Structure 1
């Protein structure tokens, strides 16, 4: 398996929206690349930047007060938005995608929730909104928010060192003296992918030694993979770095990673159906879709469970939509993080201003894509008051696939469709 990754820019074009006969001023936003979990063969993103028009209407700050446990009974959208359905169907046909699940919020109301296609081709099972999908790198944002909650609780500082005497993980991992600068790595640097090594540019260790446990892999990496840069000076997208953050969360909370995230993030906002995925087809979770590889990929040949903190979560589109409205800095629903914590999370580093703590940044919009064999995902919090989630059960190596996934929403948005005024979260 070749573990190198193309570095590409995902562009977000804000398209024309009429508001009381006003056309928004044109603006171009380039998303910083958010590289993905391991491909088995090289993948090229040939998407081009596009210029469009739009506005940013959402200016809420959030209160950080939390809301307790919330339980919603969801139903799919009753009235089709033809512009969106057309874009989804075109995307599915172009890239041979069996199933797509879409959730869209406007003003923190869930205004569109729909499943398309089939979740299991051999059985002809129709996709439904309760289907769960592997999130791939859209898992990282849950790890980042959990760290921010620990920050607010005073249990961690972003400047805390991770390895070595007096550090969070001490000398739990590794059998040799730590290499140069490893004991300088901080929580902040892991969040921003600026730890100095172990990233896509130099073969992310997460996709080596597939039979090793998480602890064995971290020990092997510390023993055998020196850093390439002084921590804090270079951006290199690292799944392995977020694997380490998972262990940081475990150390501080005394809980397994998944349970800690449920306690800190999921349960308070009413998400009860998320779990860490299994590896094989036999390990498929209840209500989980079947994944389909393209270009010879096998979606069931990877250690998904070991990817927990960077790529292991399984969820519905509605789960992610709910997650977004509680961390989006808009005022309708109280955010589960303070405004200060959200600003910290959505701020880049000196090495890469376009990538914050688990989020790519484009002005006042924040997003992330994810990709694994059999999986392609995106979640986006937008400065215009919308959020969107798109989940699929395959990925394609045809040109512009990642860009086309992102553009499903924007092409529909450009047609100025009529969105529902009710809230599917409350039904």
Structure 2
């Protein structure tokens, strides 16, 4: 999840995006058959599209009076805004497909200019004709070119990756850098688009991109190191590490494991009234007053919900136990040890050579049918323990290789942290995503970014074979993730 504040998505949408639902868009996994819609679902979908295409506010009011849930997760005022903006920016959308995804109805729509996008309708299980929320997401053009279906030669693999990358780059669905390696062997590398459109500066392999939530891996490694040293336990209670934590009752219940697995009952941070994106801070503990005194969303350990705040707390834990700032600790114990010389946390007002500017679709263009604009107006002051650092494709490959090779933490610790955790998020361990390919191999790492953020990147490694890739971009999610997902599937096939 990116280090920005999404004003138009609402809190339910924030949680939905953070859980990785965006990550599947455009990948072969996302194109697999989904359950057919019932007649009632199809009627709701068609009514939504007809309402979005209407310029009459009375039509929107009538639709929402009938179909907005009694207790929606999206703020009620956002429903008519989303409907109005879809119609205004698209010239009218056409429904091309609809399917069920759990409690969501996923709509694929096409605008008058031919661009496609996705709208997820969050249906109330207790009232199947009522909507808890709506999440419109700009999506890349689906790739329908040839795909690898078996192990290939290095040349065939590189050519297949190049076809896939150029398909997106030529349609302006991807701006960024791509690197694919196995060990010291470079299988594919390429840079596309512009790092700064105003200056006409092209993206290079040395461009530094905002990582979004990918920094959670660094925080997880820091915690793992302290656990290995016996200075901390996964079952340590927060109160025993941070005795001055603002919510003492919560600190007595929350463990380090809860924080790592997003099961502590904390939130996303951006929705807190005290959060200000330009707030300056030096240590992770400086940010605790923004949220830590608030009531928990649920009892720790009873469920999981993606939470940026949990990793900020983990950053404060690293500071308390190590006696260093989180920035100093990860620099010395993660970046330096992995050879990551181009990774860091420049402030928004700092001159940072090689930093790519993010480009986002505007708040008034939720489906991405218009032009992108720089994301400076929503960027935060500085990245932190939950995300927002800057890195290169080379450095992210170095991190993944150092993690797998045992240079950062012991192999058995890495296996524990990168394996899906019981009672945690789906396909998520402790600070790491863990997806399983069709042939059973596991793809571990993290992605970052979100819709309307100008941030989206992904770097992962096939754990069994060591094939690694980094796709770092400066457009909204899920544009780079969709590309990364297809590359991951190709690499999982290789011996």
Same fold (TM over 0.5): yes
Q: Given the alignment, which residue of 440, 448, 462 partners 1:382? A: 462
Match status 1:219 vs 2:219: no
Unmatched runs of 5 consecutive residues or more in structure 2: 1-6, 30-100, 102-133, 364-372, 437-441
Task: Name the CA shift for 1:393/1:45 in 2 (closer, same or farther; >3 Å).
Answer: closer
Higher-Rg member (1/2): 2
Considering only aligned residues, what root-mean-square deviation do their CA atoms show, in Å? Answer: 3.6
| Matched-pair contact (CA < 8 Å) for 2:209–2:391 | yes
In 2, the alpha carbon distance for the partners of 1:246 and 1:410 equals 30
Task: Name the CA shift for 1:305/1:383 in 2 (closer, same or farther; >3 Å).
Answer: same
More helix by share: 2
**What corresponds to 1:124 in structure 2?**
200
**What corresponds to 1:361 in structure 2?**
434
Match status 1:401 vs 2:494: no
Q: Given the alignment, which residue of 316, 319, 344 partners 1:275? A: 344
In 1, the alpha carbon distance for the partners of 2:414 and 2:295 equals 33
- Is the partner of 1:283 in helix, strand or coil? coil
Task: Name the CA shift for 1:343/1:207 in 2 (closer, same or farther; >3 Å).
Answer: farther
- Is the partner of 1:181 in helix, strand or coil? helix
In 1, the alpha carbon distance for the partners of 2:493 and 2:170 equals 21
**What's the offset of the Cα at 1:94?**
3.3
**What's the offset of the Cα at 1:137?**
0.7
Q: Given the alignment, which residue of 359, 362, 367 partners 1:292? A: 359
Match status 1:316 vs 2:388: no
CA deviation string 1:362-394 (max 9, x = no partner): 243213210052211001111452111100112
Task: Name the CA shift for 1:414/1:274 in 2 (closer, same or farther; >3 Å).
Answer: closer
**What corresponds to 1:253 in structure 2?**
322
**What's the offset of the Cα at 1:305?**
4.3
Equivalent runs, 1:192-207 vs 2, <5 Å: 192-199=261-268, 205=272
**What corresponds to 2:182 in structure 1?**
106
**What's the offset of the Cα at 1:237?**
0.4
Match status 1:82 vs 2:156: no
Unmatched runs of 5 consecutive residues or more in structure 1: 15-29, 31-40, 56-77, 420-427
Which gives a bigger RCO, structure 1 or 2 (Cα 8 Å, sep 6+)? 1
**What's the offset of the Cα at 1:207?**
8.8
Equivalent runs, 1:115-194 vs 2, <5 Å: 115-162=191-238, 164=239, 167-171=240-244, 173-174=245-246, 178=247, 180-194=249-263
CA deviation string 1:204-255 (max 9, x = no partner): 54993435455464224233x2012111111110111111111111111111
> Number of residue pairs matched?
349
**What's the offset of the Cα at 1:127?**
1.9
CA deviation string 1:324-377 (max 9, x = no partner): 11112xxxx554311221122023132435211111222432132100522110
**What corresponds to 2:422 in structure 1?**
349
| Matched-pair contact (CA < 8 Å) for 1:205–1:240 | no
In 1, the alpha carbon distance for the partners of 2:456 and 2:468 equals 17
CA deviation string 1:4-54 (max 9, x = no partner): 32251744759xxxxxxxxxxxxxxx9xxxxxxxxxx95538899x99966
| Matched-pair contact (CA < 8 Å) for 1:88–1:408 | no
In 1, the alpha carbon distance for the partners of 2:272 and 2:485 equals 32
Q: TM-score, normalised by structure 1?
A: 0.71
Task: Name the CA shift for 1:264/1:239 in 2 (closer, same or farther; >3 Å).
Answer: same
- Is the partner of 1:85 in helix, strand or coil? helix
**What's the offset of the Cα at 1:124?**
2.1
| Matched-pair contact (CA < 8 Å) for 1:320–1:379 | yes
